[in-house]
Amino acid sequence: MKVTIVGAGNVGATCADVMAYRGIASEIVLLDIREGFAEGKALDITQCATNTGFNTKVTGVTNDYSKTAGSNVVVITSGIPRKPGMTREELIGINAGIVKSVAENLLQYSPEAIFVIVSNPMDTMTYLAYKSLGLPKNRIIGMGGALDSSRFRTYLSLALDKPANDISAMVIGGHGDTTMIPLTRLASYNGIPVSQFLSQEQLDKVAADTMVGGATLTGLLGTSAWYAPGASVAYLVDSILNDQKKMIACSVFVEGEYGQNDICIGVPCIIGKNGLEEIIDIKLNDAEKALFAKSADAVRGMNDALATVLG
């Protein structure tokens, strides 16, 4: 199975590295606009093979889309990341044009591919890809919830002092500092509600830390994060290529689900060989429904800024 990743920067290269190491795809093509950059990243990753024991073919190209032909999955990470103090939404002006042209180029050479959108603001970029490519909604998937849920589980694990893999928890809604919705009520430690172990004050802090998880790392690193984002993309692509049918919160086009229409927003999705296979309808309580409606309003508002790009 062939995967193309556009953007060989921090997230794209990390994603390629994790996918190669875990043998998720047989072939990975990294593409970047910067001369020689993707070639260099691909060669460096390839030179891990004998020490980490993988057989994935990893190549890099400078803006040559013909080398991406016939990809089963394409991942878009091209664009600029935020700097400390910025919101993801401030990236829209530059990233919208990049994502649209990259997506169109990819489709030309891989007409059957499933698209995974990573560039920020991710929900807006996913909507842009959906509207401009004209593909069925199952083939356009925004990655954000996998990462946010992983951060939520990490913060819960730290508060509980228990392994993150024993914790089940999900974040839905927009992939923004104020639009994420960590579903604390449904989070569990091996099936036991986390509220049996943590006070409301502790739970509120975990949710707040989760929501600004990306901003915290941006403040520490001077640019946005890449290890957990790259691993989260690989996790999502694995579920597609290997038809795992995992439930992963992803940004997809909604048509009535959760009371919303005509936006891409994070909802629990079954992800398999067809991309989005089903949206799971969680019975939210009234407070959660209100948070989702507010998040959807903010996500919808950002889509208005796309008018010029969408023509």
Ligand X SMILES: NC(=O)c1ccc[n+]([C@@H]2O[C@H](COP(=O)([O-])OP(=O)(O)OC[C@H]3O[C@@H](n4cnc5c(N)ncnc54)[C@H](O)[C@@H]3O)[C@@H](O)[C@H]2O)c1
Q: Which residues are annotated as a binding site for substrate?
A: 82, 88, 120, 151
**Residue 95 binds what, of ligand X, ligand LMR, none (CB under 5 to 8 Å, by partner type)?**
ligand X
Indicate if 154 belongs to the active site: no
Write the interaction track for ligand X spanning residues 103-142; mark x where CB under 6 A is met and - where it is not: ---------------xxx-x--------------------
Of 3, 11, 19, 269, the one binding ligand X (CB under 6 A) is: 11
Q: Does 224 bind ligand LMR (CB under 6 A)?
A: yes
Q: Judged by CB, which is closer to ligand X: 132, or 224? A: 224
Q: Judged by CB, which is closer to ligand X: 8, or 24? A: 8
Of the residues 38, 175, 233, 241, only one is catalytic, namely 175
Minimum separation from the CB atom of position 204 to ligand X (A):
23
Give the count of beta carbons closer than 10 Å to the beta carbon of residue 257: 15
Token code pair at residue 205? 């802090």
Judged by CB under 6 A, the chain residues 26 through 85 that form the site for ligand X are 32-34, 37, 77-82
AA letter at 121: P
CA dist., res. 197 & res. 144, Å (int): 28
Answer yes or no: are the C-beta atoms of 152 and 164 closer than 8 Å: no
**Residue 77 binds what, of ligand LMR, ligand X, none (CB under 5 to 8 Å, by partner type)?**
ligand X
CA dist., res. 53 & res. 81, Å (int): 32
Judged by CB under 6 A, the chain residues 117 through 176 that form the site for ligand LMR are 120, 147
Residue 295, phi then psi, degrees to nearest 5: -60, -45
Token code pair at residue 13? 């290269």
Write the interaction track for ligand LMR spanning residues 190-219; mark x where CB under 6 A is met and - where it is not: ------------------------x--xx-
Q: Biggest alpha carbon distance in the chain?
A: 55
**Residue 251 binds what, of ligand X, ligand LMR, none (CB under 5 to 8 Å, by partner type)?**
none
73-76/2-6 β-pairing = parallel
Q: Residue 17 is inside which H or E element, if any?
A: helix 10-21
- Burial track 137-164 (b if 16+ CB lie within 10 A, e otherwise): ebbbbbbbbbbbbbbbbbbbbebbeeeb
Write the interaction track for ligand X spanning residues 170-189; mark x where CB under 6 A is met and - where it is not: -----x--------------
Active site residues: 175
